[in-house]
């Protein structure tokens, strides 16, 4: 995708930071996998040719020496003007990128939550000022920040020539960039690397008073739509003979007219000054319709294999002693339910991960196996043996005691919706969960709604 854009016009590629991990804390058990994934991200960025990268908790979580080694190995353009490690600055404060006849100055700022031993985030305004001054004359000034957006606004007040801030500190996505008090724009690109934010601007003109053409268009569109509603209501009013309806229509027209005045005010403010320069912001979703970059896809495949090897073979869980016994143990007494369950995708959930070589992935296994959300369930993809798939105990709770004495130990008879939404969390399932529809499809008493599967259920493992 980037290649297509590059063919059209000069492109500057930046990452605001927090690209490598989701926060400041990385547990020892996650480290091996996450280091490998972070390396993959770094390798891919290096391959794409990235111009500047911000530093956030997500980078520092791996420790400074590790990050510096990664930077060195892949020649990563990290910028962090205010990361101060006992008077030393581990990364460059900023850099100049020359593109399309323009000198583009890029400076990085870390948020004050930046936690890494021996380092702190020093005062951002002075650090950014000094960093830009050191870059000399530039045409466009960009700040990559992992601060909070409110702190970005404060920095911008003191840097009147700033054009754009790209924020990676808050996991927000603002399609319409937030204006900075000084004329610049504050952008943010969401989280999880699912989308690429693309800001296009014309290199013609000078000054730092930017307007989002998309936002202007949106305001104009709203104004037209509201004017149209006024027209329709007035036509209705002319025809109406019912006094109650007439009163209602009059109130509505008043309301719309006020809205139009307000929109005109906003449009006026947005176009005032005349000298403003226009940008267009959009997000490209990296869905299946965006073709994989072949060399990057090869890197991803290799990383997945290495992660699988890292975790090793799937060992059996403590099936002998833990509270979970696996679905096979329920079958002898609940054959009808088990037979219905085996027709649902839950019974094949582990194979779905296998098809993508992700069974050993910390980020994936938990919702595709049984018991991972329970304090005494499997807590690593390496120990799920016997609890593969979303089995009976995912919904009915651990069953060891019930299996031993069914009459005296009850299972959860009717699982609550909160059980489903542990996994159908609206994010990983891409918001597909519909409580009513979905419940019908797993209920053991409703007619079998699943089409016979060509993907056979995996053999049930004996405890």
Give the shortest CB-289-to-ligand HEC separation in angstroms.
15
Using the minimum distance from each CB to ligand HEC, give the nearer residue, 126 or 290: 290
CB of 172 closer than 8 Å to CB of 190: yes
> If binding is defined by CB under 6 A, does position 143 make contact with ligand HEC?
no
Its sign, for the CA torsion 134, 140, 145, 147, is positive
Q: What number of other Cβ atoms are within 10 A of residue 427's Cβ?
A: 9
Choose one: 142-150, 224-232, 289-297, 405-413; the region binding ligand HEC (CB under 6 A).
405-413
Give the shortest CB-243-to-ligand HEC separation in angstroms.
52
Q: Determine the distance from the C-alpha atom of residue 266 to the mean position of all C-alpha atoms in its chain, rounded to a whole number.
A: 31
Residues 361-400 close enough to bind ligand HEC by CB under 6 A: 361, 363-364, 366-368, 390-396, 399
Q: What number of other Cβ atoms are within 10 A of residue 204's Cβ?
A: 6
Give the shortest CB-43-to-ligand HEC separation in angstroms.
19
Q: What is the per-residue binding string for ligand HEC in 302-341, x denoting contact by CB under 6 A? A: -----------------------x-x-xx-xxx--xx--x
CA distance 116 to 84: 10
Q: What is the per-residue binding string for ligand HEC in 181-220, x denoting contact by CB under 6 A? A: ----------------------------------------
Judged by CB under 6 A, which of 410, 426, 448, 456 binds ligand HEC? 410
CA distance 262 to 254: 13
CA distance 381 to 311: 8
Q: Enumerate residues 6+ apart whose C-beta is below 8 A from 7.
A: none
> Of 259, 398, 378, whose CA–CA distance to 314 is shortest?
378
Q: Determine the distance from the C-alpha atom of residue 461 to the mean position of all C-alpha atoms in its chain, rounded to a whole number.
A: 36
- In Å, what is the CA distance from 396 to each residue of 97, 334, 368, 414? 58, 13, 16, 8
Judged by CB under 6 A, which of 121, 127, 314, 411 binds ligand HEC? 411
Give the shortest CB-333-to-ligand HEC separation in angstroms.
3
**Which residue, judged by CB position, is nearest to ligand HEC in the bound state?**
399
Longest alpha-carbon distance in the chain: 81
CA distance 282 to 180: 18
Judged by CB under 6 A, which of 444, 448, 453, 456 binds ligand HEC? 444
Choose one: 69-77, 228-236, 286-294, 427-435; the region binding ligand HEC (CB under 6 A).
427-435
Using the minimum distance from each CB to ligand HEC, give the nearer residue, 30 or 232: 30
Point out which residues bind ligand HEC (CB under 6 A): 325, 327, 329-330, 332-334, 337-338, 341, 345-346, 348-349, 352-353, 356, 358, 361, 363-364, 366-368, 390-396, 399, 402-403, 406-407, 410-411, 413-415, 419-420, 422-425, 428-429, 432-433, 438-439, 441-445
């Amino acid at each position: 995708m980037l290649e297509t854009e590059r063919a059209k016009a000069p492109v500057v590629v930046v990452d605001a930071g927090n690209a490598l991990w989701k926060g400041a804390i990385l547990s020892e058990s996650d480290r091996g996998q996450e280091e490998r994934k972070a390396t993959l991200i770094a390798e891919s960025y290096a391959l794409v040719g990235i111009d500047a990268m911000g530093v956030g908790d997500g980078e520092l979580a791996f420790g400074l020496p590790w990050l510096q080694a990664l930077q060195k190995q892949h020649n990563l353009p990290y910028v962090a003007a205010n990361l101060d490690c006992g008077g030393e600055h581990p990364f460059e404060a900023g850099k100049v990128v020359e593109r399309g006849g323009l000198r583009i100055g890029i400076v990085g700022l870390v948020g004050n939550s930046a936690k890494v031993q021996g380092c702190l985030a020093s005062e951002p305004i002075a650090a950014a000022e000094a960093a830009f001054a050191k870059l000399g004359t530039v045409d466009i000034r960009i700040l990559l920040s992992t601060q909070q957006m409110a702190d970005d606004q404060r920095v911008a007040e003191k840097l009147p020539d700033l054009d754009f801030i790209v924020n990676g500190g808050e996991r927000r996505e603002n399609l319409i960039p937030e204006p900075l008090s000084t004329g610049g724009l504050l952008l943010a690109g969401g989280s999880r690397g699912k989308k690429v934010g693309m800001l296009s601007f014309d290199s013609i003109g000078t000054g730092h008073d930017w307007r989002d053409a998309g936002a202007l268009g949106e305001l104009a569109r709203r104004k037209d739509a509201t004017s149209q509603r006024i027209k329709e209501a007035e036509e209705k009013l002319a025809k109406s003979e019912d006094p109650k309806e007439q009163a209602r229509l009059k109130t509505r027209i008043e309301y719309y007219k006020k809205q139009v005045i307000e929109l005109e005010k906003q449009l006026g403010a947005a176009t005032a000054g005349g000298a403003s320069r226009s940008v267009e912001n959009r997000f490209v979703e990296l869905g299946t319709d965006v073709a994989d970059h072949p060399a990057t896809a090869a890197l991803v495949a290799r990383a997945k294999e290495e992660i699988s090897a890292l975790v090793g073979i799937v060992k059996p869980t403590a099936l002998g002693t833990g509270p979970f016994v696996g679905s096979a143990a329920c079958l002898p007494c609940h054959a009808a339910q088990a037979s219905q369950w085996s027709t649902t995708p839950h019974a094949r959930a582990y194979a779905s991960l296998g098809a993508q070589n992700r069974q050993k992935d910390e980020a994936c296994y938990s919702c595709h196996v049984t018991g991972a959300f329970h304090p005494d369930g499997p807590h690593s993809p390496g120990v799920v043996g016997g609890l593969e798939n979303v089995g009976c105990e995912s919904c009915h709770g651990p069953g060891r005691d019930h299996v031993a004495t069914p009459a005296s130990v009850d299972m959860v008879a009717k699982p609550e919706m909160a059980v489903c939404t542990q996994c159908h969390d609206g994010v990983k399932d891409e918001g597909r969960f519909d409580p009513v529809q979905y419940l019908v499809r797993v209920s053991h008493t409703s007619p079998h709604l699943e089409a016979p599967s060509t993907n056979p259920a995996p053999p049930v493992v004996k405890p």
